Amino acid sequence: MFTVVIIMAAGMLAGYLLRKHKKLISLSERLVMWAIYLLLFLLGVTIGVNDQILERFAEMGWLAFIIAVGGIGGSILIGWLVFTFFLKSKTGQL
C-alpha cells in the first residue's frame, strides 16, 4: 500500500511540474484512457477463465445490481439533503 501512495505522490509531483506542457498532458490523457481499456479487458479475461465466478454470475449479478441501486439512491438522497439544508438560499436559488 505504501508503494501505491509513493507512486501516486510522484505522479502528482510530475503533473504539477509538467502542467504547462499541453501536448504532454494531452498525450497523458490518451494513454490513461487506453490503460483503463486494457485493465478492463484483462479484468474480463480474468473473470472469463474463473469457473466459480461464471457459475455464480447470475447470483452475483443481482447482488451487484442491488448494491448499485442502493449506492445511486443513497447518493441522490444525500445530494438532495446537502442542497436543501446547506446550499439553497431562502429564495430557492443557489
Please give the average per-residue pLDDT across 51-60, as a whole number. 82
Mean pLDDT score of the chain = 89
Same domain? For 5 and 42 the reply is yes
| Percentage, residues of the chain above pLDDT 90 | 57
Q: Rounded distance, CA 43 to CA 37, Å?
A: 10
Same domain? For 17 and 38 the reply is yes
- Host domain of residue 36: 1-50
pTM: 0.54
Same domain? For 35 and 68 the reply is no
Q: How many structural domains comprise the chain?
A: 2
Same domain? For 63 and 37 the reply is no
Q: Do 60 and 53 contact (CB within 8 A), yes or no?
A: yes
Please give the average per-residue pLDDT across 72-86, as a whole number. 93
> Which residues, at least 6 apart from 18, have a Cβ–Cβ distance to it below 8 Å?
24, 25
Same domain? For 63 and 43 the reply is no
| Percentage, residues of the chain above pLDDT 70 | 94
Same domain? For 38 and 82 the reply is no
What is the reported pLDDT for 51? 87
What is the reported pLDDT for 10? 96
